[in-house]
Amino acid sequence: MSFTDEDVVPRGRNLAEYCAMFDLRAAERAVSMLGCADGAASFNAEGTAAGLRIVSVDPLYALTAAQIRARIEQATPPDADAQTMERFLADYDAGVAEGRYVSGSAIDLPFPDHSFDLALCSHFLFLQAARYDLAFHLKAVRELLRVADEVRIFPLLEPGAVESRHLKAIMLALPRMGVKAERRRVDYEPQRGGNEMLVISR
């Protein structure tokens, strides 16, 4: 299954939310991080300003700032965090020029092997299980593990606050891939029962 920028509905979450959902401790914030499917998050903008080393990848970044703004205005629900997305947009052109916002798909990441210490995938894998099948999920996990030493995915639910239909199969497949997997509770629960991430490491 292909994945293009046309599939993306821009949403944004801030640095504090990323730190909470991925349980990022102070020491971990010093490592090189990849944000996969970051969309209109201000994670990169805020993190870079705070001295963090972050690259964000998303098909959305094939668009200009004006095109992304138009898509946000068309597709974003009224209860979304406008301040977060404005922070992202204000940083976007500079971030593209600096190589911090890179256009790319979760199943075909445009980075060499072992480019990052940590890859974070927020509100894409598992959550969108109805749109992206198990094969897509497995390919994305393999690709994230190719470019990063550790992968964290949040949340483990799909809409309706039910466990993602792909989670059990992924958990069974990971040991056969020679990696470790752990469901870890975090201090962040945007929906009832949605307070776990999956941590995958070599």
Per-residue confidence at 75, pLDDT binned at 50, 70, 90?
A: confident
What is the gyration radius of the CA atoms in the chain, in angstroms? 16
Q: What's the distance, Cα to Cα, between the start and end of the chain in Å?
A: 26
How do residues 145-185 score in pLDDT, each as one tens digit? 999 999 999 999 999 999 999 999 999 999 999 999 999 99
Please give the CATH architecture assigned to the domain spanning 112-202: 3-Layer(aba) Sandwich (3.40)
Domain with CATH 3.40.50.150 in the chain: 112-202
**For the ranges 24-33, 68-77, 114-123, which has the lowest average pLDDT?**
68-77
| 168 contacts: CB under 8 Å, gap ≥ 6 | none
This prediction has a pTM of 0.92
